Amino acid sequence: MAEPASPQAPVLALERLSKSFGALTVTRDVTLDVRPAEVHALIGPNGAGKTSLIAQIAGALAPDAGRILFAGADVTRLGMARRARRGLGRVFQISNVVGAFTSLENVALAAIVAGGRTFRCWRPALSDRAALEQARAMLERVGLADRMATPAAALSHGERRALELAMCLVQEPKLLLLDEPMAGTGRAESERLTALLAGLKGRIPILLVEHDMATVFALADRISVLISGAIAITGTPETVRADAVVRQAYLGDEEAV
């Protein structure tokens, strides 16, 4: 009898990742993966170690032990720029938006960089018709078609988040690492961003780090809960919601979740 076909290899896999600063252990033997086309949410209370873990995934912080596999390769010792060139798209932790540039200019520059084209100053670069067409299409995709000529500094907080997403998507990443995209947004903006991300489901794998539980439970296919630097549970939203340890440590008794 033939064996069942094995599932597709994860786009991102963390294998027993650990990190300490002196006597303080911030990541404890973390193992998780992000499968093709899924949204995998990482949640946990303040101080759980999410920031340190994301820094290790992005390449800003080297782990003490364990491996990080991305797109079929071991990237544990690669820096941020080399991981980005391999297709790791990191959004929202540190904004790379230029406030004085329009939305169109920001996305066009991202497209030029992604295409490996070089330029000495930004004005000549913006005569690149292909980049401008890519930028226009991406701004329409994220709902900023009517804000193309608006300087990024004049955008609302939620619109700037959408712009940052457009700048990442135009580079055609293999995985999106979204670090608290709803932080600082009001309810209406959060709902708009959640709908935007929902439109990406099935098209690109996403690792979502988020405190907004309404967004997490609306988007996630699987959820990993990080507590004291270690993964307490990984499972479906229903499994995580029902777990007594998780509810006590993080979710509480809020009906909203």
Q: Which of 84-93, 162-171, 194-203 has the lowest mean pLDDT?
A: 84-93
**Which band of pLDDT confidence, cut at 50, 70 and 90, is reported for residue 183?**
confident
- What tokens does 205 get? 């794998």
Integer Cα distance of 122 and 178 in angstroms:
27
Render 78-143 in DSSP notation, one character per residue: --HHHHHHTTEEEESSS----TTSBHHHHHHHHHHHHTT---SSHHHHTT-HHHHHHHHHHHHHTT
Please state whether the predicted TM-score (pTM) of the whole model is above 0.85.
yes
Provide the b/e sequence for 2-19 (b: ≥16 CB within 10 Å).
eeeeeeeebbbbbbebbb
Question: Once rounded to an integer, what is the mean pLDDT over residues 11-32?
Answer: 97
Percent of the chain with pLDDT over 70: 88
pLDDT in tens, 137-160: 999 999 999 999 999 999 998 899
Spell out the residues 6+ positions from residue 39 whose beta carbon is closer than 8 angstroms to its own: 197, 201, 205, 206, 208, 219, 220, 221
Show me where the domains of the chain are located: 7-87+174-252, 95-172
Look at residue 135 in the predicted model and tell me its pLDDT.
95
Integer Cα distance of 231 and 250 in angstroms:
13
If you search the block for the tokens 């307490």, which residue do you land on? 232
Fold for 7-87+174-252, please state it.
Answer: Rossmann fold (3.40.50)
**Which band of pLDDT confidence, cut at 50, 70 and 90, is reported for residue 23?**
very high
SS3 for 126-150 is CCCHHHHHHHHHHHHHCCCHHHCCC
Distances (CA, A) of 170 to 7, 107, 113, 234: 28, 7, 10, 31
Q: What average pLDDT does the chain have?
A: 88
Integer Cα distance of 237 and 240 in angstroms:
5
Contact between residue 250 and residue 43 where contact means Cβ atoms under 8 Å apart? yes
Top mean-pLDDT range of 60-74, 103-117, 233-247: 60-74
**What is residue 19's DSSP assignment?**
E
Look at residue 122 in the predicted model and tell me its pLDDT.
53
- What tokens does 180 get? 């608290």
227: left (phi over 0), alpha (psi -120 to 50) or beta: beta
Question: Once rounded to an integer, what is the mean pLDDT over residues 53-78?
Answer: 96
Integer Cα distance of 205 and 199 in angstroms:
12
